[in-house]
Amino acid sequence: MGQEIETASFSDDDFAQFGNRLEQETAHLRSMFDAGVFADSHEIAGFELEAWLIDSDTRPAPVNEAFLERLNDPLVVHELSRFNIELNSTPRLLKGDALAQMSSELEARWRHCIDVATDMETRLAMTGILPVVKEQELTLQNMSAVKRYKALNEQILRLRRGSPLRLSIKGVEHLQTEHSDVMLESAATSFQVHMQVRPDQAARYYNAACIVSAPIVAIASNSPYLFGRNLWHETRIPLFEQSVNTTETGSLAMTGKRRVTFGHGYIDSSMMELFEENLALYPVLLPEVHQRDTEELYHLRLHNGTIWRWNRPLIGLDEHGYHLRIEHRVIPSGPTIADMMANAALFYGLVQALAHKAEAPERRLPFETARENFYRAARDGLSSPIEWPGRGAVQADDLLRSELIPLAGEGLASLGVDDADIRQMIRILDDRAASGQTGSAWQRAYCAQHRCSFRDMTEAYLRNQQSGRPVHSWTV
């Protein structure tokens, strides 16, 4: 959910003071990088899963406050809308049976959530975009009672000088609409994967995360429909980019002011470069000033939380001190826990393998090409051509099966992940790539085969999701 704040109203003096504190903390962070204070431990994994609360008619159910109170689990929290929740994991060393433990933890927490929802005559769904959601349901009345969200909405509209947010997505069909607040963003739910990395290798890991975003979004796609229109394989990508756009244009052009962005370039030597970019390019949205020690980096971390790079750098602080994490945000929620854990394994394995190649792949693949790969893959899924070092343009499914999925297995093995878990994850990924049946492909095929309503398709999707079987094995 991000850091909560104490007030939603700000003065010019708040912005000035926050800006000063942000400059001080950015300078302090620079000295921390120079001094090498960050934890140098084995890689650590974690995740956040955003999910939907729905009623018996498959409509969004805005009851998360009552649900969370009854659930009483500190690792399950609010999301932007009253019909979304977020499930968090316990961080684990990425070795041994870590993937199996993460999967078991998520399954147990998910079952507990389902039990509580059932008691409330409510249901849960994991999907990148709920196919039946209507624009008129995305209102401020359905915004969670969290000051951070109220303030973000007001500040984004302030930067837009009050102009409505414009959504324009061209896919199989074309969707155009205007919306008066940021609640469009609540239609996009994701499975965000975290990886704590060693500071001396953080730049290589970050660059690798950017490069692998295209094949991962292609094989993980699960969001083809929005407001009754058939759009991208992963429509959540342009939806999120445009739903919190602080500029007055609805285009997908990359500018320094885009709050949701693939980024502006690779890192040369340090993650510090991204925090310098935060200071230089992004206006402050939440200027809540605290009289905290500079060492806590409170203002810097709050500001970073309002910049949603698809691969976001994070500064963590726990009982062991400071650490560096990469938050990989391209994976949608669903279709099943097995699918999502395989997607996470693909990310962990590929980033590990590419970050340790003798020749850095970012030297052979321009950043602009990695970015173009990403948007093509989000639009076209497994049929998308991906430019890859040494291969040229290769269709995503072929690239994954012939090179990337085996490479991910090698990366996981080098981390010390159990062989049995690697084989299980690789099998799910390879079967999905071979069949071409991602969550997005299944939704489209089911609608075409049955000529049914989105409600009927969603009910069939939920039955399959409850079975736990990976999406490649679902029948149409």
Q: Which domain holds residue 286?
A: 12-214+241-376
What's residue 21's pLDDT?
97
| C-alpha distance from residue 259 to each of 156, 246, 409 (Å) | 10, 7, 34
| Assigned domain for 125 exists | yes
| Assigned domain for 222 exists | no
What's residue 2's pLDDT?
61
DSSP letter for each residue of 302-358: HHHTT-EESEEEEEEEETTEEEEEEEE--PBS-S-HHHHHHHHHHHHHHHHHHHTSS
What's residue 9's pLDDT?
77
- Asked if residue 225 lies in contact with residue 238, where contact means CB atoms within 8 angstroms, the answer is no
Q: Report the largest interatomic distance among the alpha carbons of the chain, rounded to a whole angstrom.
A: 62
Phi and psi, residue 24, nearest 5°: -65, -45
| Assigned domain for 123 exists | yes
- Asked if residue 385 lies in contact with residue 393, where contact means CB atoms within 8 angstroms, the answer is yes
Q: Amino acid letter at 348?
A: Y
Which residue(s) pair with 318 in the sheet?
A: 321
What's residue 291's pLDDT?
87
Q: Which of 317, 338, 315, 318 is nearest to 327 (CA)?
A: 315
| Assigned domain for 414 exists | no
Model confidence, pTM = 0.96
Q: Which of 137, 145, 218, 163 is nearest to 400 (CA)?
A: 218
| Assigned domain for 199 exists | yes
- Asked if residue 83 lies in contact with residue 64, where contact means CB atoms within 8 angstroms, the answer is yes
What's residue 312's pLDDT?
98
Q: Which of 322, 317, 310 is nearest to 258 (CA)?
A: 310
What region, left, alpha or beta, does residue 125 occupy, with left being phi > 0 and alpha being psi -120 to 50 degrees? Answer: beta
Q: Hey, what's the torsion of the CAs at 425, 127, 195, 21, to 10 degrees?
A: 180
11 Cβ contact list (under 8 Å, min separation 6)? none
Q: Amino acid letter at 235?
A: T
What's residue 258's pLDDT?
86
Report the alpha-carbon distance of residue 15 to residue 244 in Å, rounded. 20
For residue 64, the domain's CATH number is 3.30.590
DSSP letter for each residue of 42-93: S-EEEEEEEEEEE-TTS-B---HHHHHHHH--TTEEE-SBTTEEEEE---EE
CA atoms within 13 A on the CB side of 352: 27
What's residue 1's pLDDT?
47
- Total domains in the chain come to 1
308-309 and 260-261 strand pairing: parallel
| Assigned domain for 57 exists | yes
CB atoms closer than 10 angstroms to residue 276: 14
| Assigned domain for 6 exists | no
406 Cβ contact list (under 8 Å, min separation 6)? 426
pLDDT means per 10 residues, the chain with 476 residues, are 66 95 98 95 96 97 98 97 98 98 98 98 98 97 93 92 94 97 97 96 97 98 98 98 79 58 96 97 94 93 96 92 96 98 98 97 98 98 97 97 98 98 98 98 98 98 98 98
Provide the token pair at 291.
């009289």
| Assigned domain for 268 exists | yes
Report the alpha-carbon distance of residue 226 to residue 210 in Å, rounded. 26
Q: Is 388 helix (H, G, I), strand (E, B) or coil?
A: strand
Distance of CA 232 to the CA centre of its chain: 17
